[in-house]
């Protein structure tokens, strides 16, 4: 793990990397199904999660292809929640609102808070997320994640891995791309960062997108503590 001394700024993906978004969404879908009187077993929850994810992925792809004008993550999450609600017969407005905003109340991974605080004493640390500005504000307040700067893809009116999203971080960092490190649990996210010249660090999580054999990320680690030790020489 050479080259840590060259890093000037560390940029973190948030959803999946710093917080358990999939687990939080699963819990919210199960809660909504139970509230509506629908089947809330794991197989049924899996099918509802597929409905949610397929909508989000399709709409983000349509935006990337300029088929749909940009809509932020709150809008798309609301649409996904309405689709799930239609499947389970959920009509209560408060329950629907809670489901639509589930990603704002997910829990951080066990190592996220301490490692982030430690690295923040050595580097400027930035959050770079597809979540909307409002969602990030509420998520940070809920989890206790503290950043020197928080960036939403909403500011680029695009979603990762569009290069303009990563350029938000490079512009904020004010450093050459090769001195800015992107940290994520999603290999597709790191490939997007590589495309604009950033250094990359894959952190393994129970969720996420693992690297392919031909991926050549700067670091690969089993958790944030291992990565932090490499970056700080601990």
pLDDT at 41: 81
Structure tokens given for 209: 């997108």
Return the exposure string of 3-34: e unless at least 16 CB atoms fall within 10 Å of the residue's CB, then b: ebeebebbbbbbbbbbbbbbebbbbbbbbbbe
> What would the mean pLDDT of 159-182 be, rounded to a whole number?
98
pLDDT at 4: 74
The 10s digit of each residue's pLDDT in 124-170 is: 999 999 999 999 999 999 999 999 999 999 999 999 999 999 999 99
pTM beyond cutoff 0.75:
yes
pLDDT at 234: 57
The 10s digit of each residue's pLDDT in 69-101 is: 999 999 999 999 999 999 999 999 999 999 999
Position with higher pLDDT, 5 vs 6: 6
Question: Could you count the other beta carbons within 10 Å of the beta carbon of residue 206?
Answer: 10
> What would the mean pLDDT of 166-194 be, rounded to a whole number?
98
For domain 4-20+107-232, give the CATH superfamily.
HAD superfamily/HAD-like (3.40.50.1000)
pLDDT at 122: 96
- Average pLDDT of the chain is 95
**The CATH number of 22-105 is which of 1.50.10, 1.10.760, 2.60.40, 1.10.150?**
1.10.150
- CA–CA distances in Å: residue 180 to residues 110, 135, 170, 194: 25, 25, 7, 11
Q: Tell me the longest C-alpha to C-alpha distance in the chain.
A: 56
> What would the mean pLDDT of 44-67 be, rounded to a whole number?
96
Helices 133-143, 73-88: axis angle to 10 degrees equals 80
pLDDT at 1: 41
Q: Is the pLDDT of residue 5 over 80?
A: no
> What would the mean pLDDT of 5-21 be, rounded to a whole number?
96
Task: Identify the helix (H) or strand (E) that includes residue 192.
Answer: helix 187-195
> What would the mean pLDDT of 60-73 be, rounded to a whole number?
98
Q: Domain limits of the chain?
A: 4-20+107-232, 22-105
Q: Is the pLDDT of residue 107 over 70?
A: yes
Q: What percent of the chain has pLDDT over 70?
A: 98
pLDDT at 208: 86
DSSP E strand boundaries for 159-218: 180-184, 199-203
pLDDT at 26: 95
> What would the mean pLDDT of 35-53 be, rounded to a whole number?
89
Identical fold at 4-20+107-232 and 22-105? Answer: no
How many alpha carbons lie under 13 Å from residue 188 in its C-beta half-sphere?
7
């Amino acid at each position: 793990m050479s080259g840590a001394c060259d890093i000037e700024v560390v940029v973190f993906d948030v959803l999946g990397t710093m917080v358990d978004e999939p687990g939080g969404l699963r819990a919210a879908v199960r809660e909504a199904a139970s509230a509506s009187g629908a089947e809330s077993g794991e197989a049924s929850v899996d099918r509802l999660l597929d409905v949610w994810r397929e909508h989000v992925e399709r709409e983000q792809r349509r935006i990337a292809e300029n088929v749909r004008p940009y809509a932020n993550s709150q809008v798309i999450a609301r649409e996904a929640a309405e689709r799930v609600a239609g499947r389970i017969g959920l009509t209560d407005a408060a329950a629907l609102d809670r489901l639509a905003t589930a990603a704002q109340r997910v829990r951080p991974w066990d190592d996220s808070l301490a490692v982030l605080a430690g690295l923040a004493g050595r580097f400027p640390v930035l959050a770079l997320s597809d979540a909307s500005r409002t969602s990030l504000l509420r998520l940070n307040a809920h989890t206790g994640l503290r950043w020197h700067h928080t960036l939403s893809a909403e500011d680029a009116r695009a979603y990762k891995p569009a290069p303009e999203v990563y350029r938000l971080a490079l512009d904020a960092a004010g450093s050459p791309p090769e001195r800015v490190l992107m940290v994520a649990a999603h290999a597709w996210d790191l490939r997007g960062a590589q495309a604009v010249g950033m250094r990359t660090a894959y952190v393994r999580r129970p969720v996420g997108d693992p690297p392919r054999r031909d991926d050549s990320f700067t670091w690969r680690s089993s958790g944030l503590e291992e990565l932090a030790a490499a970056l700080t020489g601990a």
